Amino acid sequence: MTAEKYSCVTSLPYTHPQAQIMGTGMQGGALNTVDVSKMSLERFASVLPPRRFEEVRAGIHAARPLLAGRIVWNVSSTAHGGGVAEMLTTLLAYARGAGVDARWEVIGGDSRFFALTKRIHNHLHGFNGDRGALGESERAHYEATLASSGEALAAKVKSGDVVILHDPQTAGLIPRLRARGIPVVWRCHVGVDRPNELVRETWRFLARYVAAADATVFSRAAFAWEGLDAERVAIIAPSLDAFAPKNQLLEEAQVDAILAAAGLREGNGSDAPAAFMRMDGTPALVRRRARLTEERPLRHGERFVLQVSRWDALKDPAGVVAGFARFVAPHTDAHLIYAGPDVAGVSDDPEGARVVQRVRKQWAALPHELRERIHLAELPMADAEENAAMVNALQQAATVVVQKSLAEGFGLTVAEAMWKGRAVAASRIGGIQDQIEHGRSGLLLDRPRVLEEFGAAVRQFLDDASSAETMGTAARERVREHFLGPRSLLDYLALLGRLI
């Protein structure tokens, strides 16, 4: 661990700060360019097993001539907040570092467009969300919004380029690009293991766009939609970046200082700086404070259970709070921190503010002794890397990390906590099942809605520190082997190679 820690501090192959959106004018559905850094994959020599590292080198060597002179355009609906933005920020930077001209554009839209795409997102998970319809008037608005983004994109993309569109927000762009003969990959980051009628209806809503793609990518085989040409479906599991502010290993004193600076935990009297390393290798300090709903701050030395998630009903914040209050707090000394983004900072998630309010109300209705043990944290989003450092410090300081989601595409937060050697208890759904091997590298909750089972899993870790540690160590190795960025990158390069 120590060697890795220092290798991440001393190797600084980045050449540009984190992704930043350039330009304005999102309302009309136009396009905004995200400035992508350039990072060298060579630093992975210190974290990947040698055999894996050689595979990465060979894969890049093979892909370079094929992609020479071509731009690989990525299009998503946000550059901040959530797993997709998280992954693109670093994956594209490594692609650029490997000599691939990868670019990132973000589509715009009005609040109706994002309410509608959030509805699609919920439906694709089998949930009815806002109970709104997906009919012809919604289709008309969806297409009209994407028309101007599509026009702007078509003007940039030249023959020989490839476009990777991310998630349902962008699917409507496929036919226009295909009509111009541009190879298009549609990457769907959401999915369910067992589709219900709502899911199928939504597939039908999107099918006329998606069917035109040259390839579709899902996070796991079970997510591939019925009716798609199997030959054109690829499976690529998501991944994390071991060196990003979210995942770099921090000294204990750094963790303490970051949590104290953000107001997430009382300081321990040390004057260590709340320092973290930016993507470009420059040192920075955590300065902003989280907004907390709590009776009193968490004290140094108090154990805590953590869930980090957007404020989304599918992450089940209400269930986490209720399960902790009923089945963990009365039997242990642990606290709970539920941390999510400051909702004002996430543009494509209109539901967030309502969910935060509901959870705050739920907290307020608890008796004082439970309110004292439960802390709701909204982490400032103004500086994505500072936000990431806060999440990192929380994940490294937590005794148990939970992810009690009701639906999940992959669950990057699970991989993040596993990489930090945490004991993780998470729902047996979606890509979480590919990450945790139950009883070896964490615990899977068979019935995520059953609060008693959630409580029992959390208590198992709190009561047995040695099994928590053994599983945490296995969890880290699991991520090292399967879920680090270079593996995803190779999968994408192989797919693009086949397309071209």
For residues 38 and 166, which CB has a smaller minimum distance to ligand UDP in the complex?
Answer: 166
Cα 475 from Cα 412, distance rounded (Å): 13
At residue 190, what is the residue type? V
Minimum gap (Å) between residue 82 Cβ and ligand UDP: 4
Residue number with the shortest CB distance to ligand UDP?
Answer: 83
411 contributes a contact to ligand UDP by CB under 6 A: yes
For residues 73 and 311, which CB has a smaller minimum distance to ligand UDP in the complex?
Answer: 311
Q: Judge whether 111 and 42 are in contact, CB under 8 Å.
A: no
Listed ranges 122-130, 210-218, 255-263, 333-341: which one lies at the site for ligand UDP (CB under 6 A): 333-341
SS (H, E, C) 107-167: ECCCHHHHHHHHHHHHHHCCCCCCCCCCCHHHHHHHHHHHHHHHHHHHHHCCCCCEEEEEC
Q: Which residues pair with 71 in a beta bridge?
A: 101
- Look at the block and give the residue holding tokens 């806060």: 390
339 contributes a contact to ligand UDP by CB under 6 A: yes
388 contributes a contact to ligand UDP by CB under 6 A: yes
Picking from 207, 206, 171, 199, the residue whose alpha carbon sits closest to that of residue 187 is: 171
Cα 262 from Cα 264, distance rounded (Å): 5
In 3-state terms the chain splits into helix, strand, coil percentages (rounded to 5) of: 45, 15, 40
- Residues 207-246 close enough to bind ligand UDP by CB under 6 A: 246
Minimum gap (Å) between residue 257 Cβ and ligand UDP: 19
Distances (CA, A) of 455 to 380, 459, 461: 29, 6, 10
Give the three-state DSSP class for 17: coil
Listed ranges 50-58, 78-86, 358-366, 492-500: which one lies at the site for ligand UDP (CB under 6 A): 78-86
How many positions of this chain bind ligand UDP (CB under 6 A)?
Answer: 18
26 contributes a contact to ligand UDP by CB under 6 A: no
- Contact residue for ligand UDP among 47, 228, 376, 391 (CB under 6 A): 391
For residues 339 and 458, which CB has a smaller minimum distance to ligand UDP in the complex?
Answer: 339
Contacts of 19 (CB under 8 A, 6+ apart): 34, 35, 36, 37, 79, 85, 88, 89, 92, 93, 104, 384
Number of Cα atoms under 13 Å in the Cβ half of residue 183: 15
At residue 34, what is the residue type? V
For residues 98 and 412, which CB has a smaller minimum distance to ligand UDP in the complex?
Answer: 412
264 contributes a contact to ligand UDP by CB under 6 A: no
387 contributes a contact to ligand UDP by CB under 6 A: yes
Minimum gap (Å) between residue 426 Cβ and ligand UDP: 10
343 contributes a contact to ligand UDP by CB under 6 A: no
For residues 75 and 329, which CB has a smaller minimum distance to ligand UDP in the complex?
Answer: 75
Distances (CA, A) of 80 to 19, 171, 380: 9, 19, 12
Minimum gap (Å) between residue 252 Cβ and ligand UDP: 20
Site track 357-386 with ligand UDP (rule: CB under 6 A), x = hit: ----------------------x-------
410 contributes a contact to ligand UDP by CB under 6 A: yes
Listed ranges 278-286, 321-329, 404-412, 469-477: which one lies at the site for ligand UDP (CB under 6 A): 404-412
For residues 341 and 486, which CB has a smaller minimum distance to ligand UDP in the complex?
Answer: 341
CA torsion 283→103→59→416, rounded to 10°? 50
Phi, psi of 81 (to 5 degrees): 85, 125
For residues 264 and 412, which CB has a smaller minimum distance to ligand UDP in the complex?
Answer: 412
Q: What is the C-alpha end-to-end distance of the chain, expressed in Å?
A: 40
171 contributes a contact to ligand UDP by CB under 6 A: no
82 contributes a contact to ligand UDP by CB under 6 A: yes
For residues 177 and 393, which CB has a smaller minimum distance to ligand UDP in the complex?
Answer: 393
- Contact residue for ligand UDP among 413, 427, 433, 435 (CB under 6 A): 413
Q: Which residues pair with 187 in a beta bridge?
A: 166, 217
- Residues 416-435 close enough to bind ligand UDP by CB under 6 A: 416
Tokens representing residue 246 in the block:
């979210």
305 contributes a contact to ligand UDP by CB under 6 A: no
Minimum gap (Å) between residue 416 Cβ and ligand UDP: 6
CA torsion 302→305→310→311, rounded to 10°? -90
352 contributes a contact to ligand UDP by CB under 6 A: no
Name the site residues for ligand UDP (rule: CB under 6 A).
82-83, 86, 246, 308, 310, 339-341, 379, 387-388, 391, 410-413, 416
